[in-house]
Amino acid sequence: MAAAALSKKTLRWYVNCAVSAGIIVLFYLLPPFGTLTRTGMQVSGIFIGIIYALSTVDVVWPALLGLVLLGCTDLYTMTGAFAAAFGSETWLFILFILGFVAVVTGSGVSSRIANWMVSRKFSRGRPWVISWLLLTAAYVVSAMVSATPGVVIPWAMLYTMCENYGYKKRDKYPTLMVIGITLASLMGNAIFPFEALAMMVQNSLQAQTGQTIDFWRFTILSGALTYGVVLTYLFACRFIFRPDVSRIRENDYVYSGETGLDRRQKLVMGLLALLLFLLFVPEALPESIPGVALVNRIGRPGVCALMLAAAGLLPGGDGAGRTDLARTMRDGIPWPTMLLLAFALVMTSSITNEATGIQPFLESIFGPVFGSAPNPLLFIFAVCAVQLVLTNIFANMVIALLLVPLVSVYAPMAGVSTEMMAVCICVLTNVSLVLPSASPFAALLHGNSEWVTSREIYKYSSVAVVLVAVASTVICATLGSALF
């Protein structure tokens, strides 16, 4: 049986590889049609074929193959394609900041932050305060460190709390909290403009329109959107899903855990605070102030590299020796994601290149959807709804790659800020947990079958997605319009 199952899995793998290759070859052979040029046909085939492989086979080799194939088009030389990918400011920025995040994660500070937040005594006997603290802990840990500890650590806390409150696995309340923690972590991971997806969207927007997004305005709007999603889910839990929380209300239990920071963790948090300061504050200050011109000259990749180098001087985890940066970067950086980002950066530039004719072709297809919105509010809602549906089926980077060119064209026609809609895309394409294929964290959620079933995930998260579309439209139409 095992051998037969393995054989079927292997056969499916080869079939998907063949389908991916077939798509690429087919577009190479087909004559141009519509606004697509010969180069546009080649780039379209590479895009569709590689995206198919990324979704069904693997990440690493399709991303590398995509770069090689793009280097064979008229848009790039082979060296030029790889230089545009791995030598871009965006790719280097993400590389160094993920290296620094790996140092923060390795310090163990994530659990201390979460423990401190959840162990507040004012939550005793107040079920929705406890629920809010759990989701906020997931959000903050994900924002300050990374999404993985933002999911795993609050999950472990929830399990301990449920045991003390008397809840069983798959009871309605823990089911809702398991889903909510995953969603909150996804949102925390989307708040800052230097996350991988956010940098890719900003890079695509700049290639399309020449516009750049101020980090401060990005973070204010994304903060409102991301935390608004968390509060919207909490609202749905209390007033729509309505689990039995009487066990919490009648119990005096308060979660407790280690909250103090050791010397190394304090130093790591100090470096993190300094990094955020250097990324945000100089942008808002005139260069006449001493030091601002130097920071701007170093640039964001340089600032991140400098902080990562400083982290290498910190004491090791056991208090002896120094931080092993080589091992930290080897084990802590998601290298498949970095390769995918490299491919996405070059593919974005290729799609938006006038020599391909792809952008006018996409406009002719999606124009009836976005171009028919008679007023700004309906346009915002249409974009929110479309991306929320698609990102729960396909990978978020794919959806972002498709939406940014369309929004760049139709947002000005609807009287809506393109930068605001780019921030919206950065946030809402992370609301991906309905189907296991939506994101790695959706797969992790569906895999937690001991505490939650896929059927319950479909039921509760689908309702939440509808409410998120409405809430996001309101936030973008009010705060977003004021900012942009």
**Least reliable range by pLDDT among 63-72, 82-91, 114-123, 382-391:** 114-123
The answer to whether residues 247 and 343 belong to one domain is no
- Is 293 inside any structural domain? no
The answer to whether residues 383 and 455 belong to one domain is yes
Q: What is the pLDDT of residues 433-470, one digit of tens each?
A: 888 877 888 888 988 888 999 899 999 999 999 999 99
- Is 450 inside any structural domain? yes
- Is 237 inside any structural domain? yes
What DSSP character marks residue 239? I
The answer to whether residues 378 and 234 belong to one domain is yes
Residue in 10, 46, 15, 21 with CA at minimum distance from that of residue 351: 46
**Domain boundary residue among 319, 352, 385?**
352
- The set of residues, in sequence order, having a beta carbon less than 8 Å from that of 154 and lying 6+ positions away, is 114, 118, 134, 135, 137, 138, 141, 181, 184, 185
**Domain boundary residue among 323, 352, 381?**
352
**Domain boundary residue among 294, 325, 352?**
352
Instruction: Report the Cα–Cα distance between both ends of the chain, in Å, rounded.
Output: 59
- Is 101 inside any structural domain? no
- The set of residues, in sequence order, having a beta carbon less than 8 Å from that of 446 and lying 6+ positions away, is 436, 454, 457
Q: How distant, in Å, are the alpha carbons of 74, 216, 452 from that of 483?
A: 40, 10, 39
Q: What is the pLDDT of residues 171-182, one digit of tens each?
A: 999 999 999 999
Q: Residue 38 in contact with residue 32, Cβ under 8 Å? A: yes
The answer to whether residues 444 and 367 belong to one domain is yes
CA angle, corner 345, sides to 312 and 389, nearest 5? 105
How many domains are there within the chain?
Answer: 2
The answer to whether residues 467 and 481 belong to one domain is yes
Q: Residue 291 in contact with residue 283, Cβ under 8 Å? A: no
The answer to whether residues 248 and 358 belong to one domain is yes
The answer to whether residues 381 and 482 belong to one domain is yes
Q: Please, which pLDDT band fits residue 7 given cuts at 50, 70 and 90?
A: confident
SS3 315: strand
The answer to whether residues 340 and 368 belong to one domain is no
- Is 388 inside any structural domain? yes
Q: What is the pLDDT of residues 218-235, one digit of tens each?
A: 999 999 999 999 999 999
The answer to whether residues 150 and 56 belong to one domain is no
Q: Residue 436 in contact with residue 400, Cβ under 8 Å? A: no
The answer to whether residues 448 and 345 belong to one domain is no
Q: How distant, in Å, are the alpha carbons of 32, 46, 175 from that of 22?
A: 17, 10, 42
pLDDT score for 281: 81
**Least reliable range by pLDDT among 265-274, 279-288, 377-386:** 279-288
* Burial classification of residue 200, based on how many CB atoms lie within 10 Å of its CB (0-12 exposed, 13-18 middle, 19 or more buried): buried
pLDDT score for 370: 65
Q: Is the pLDDT of residue 1 over 50?
A: no
Domain coverage including residue 388: 142-256+354-484
pLDDT score for 444: 86
Q: What is the pLDDT of residues 199-214, one digit of tens each?
A: 888 888 887 788 889 8
- Is 220 inside any structural domain? yes
Q: Longest C-alpha distance within the chain, in Å? A: 72
- The set of residues, in sequence order, having a beta carbon less than 8 Å from that of 303 and lying 6+ positions away, is 275, 278, 279, 295
Q: In the predicted model, what is the mean pLDDT of the chain?
A: 87
**Distance between CA 429 and CA 391 in Å, rounded?**
5
pLDDT score for 259: 73
- Is 185 inside any structural domain? yes
The answer to whether residues 345 and 457 belong to one domain is no
Question: Angle, nearest 10°, between helix axes 358-370 and 335-352?
Answer: 90
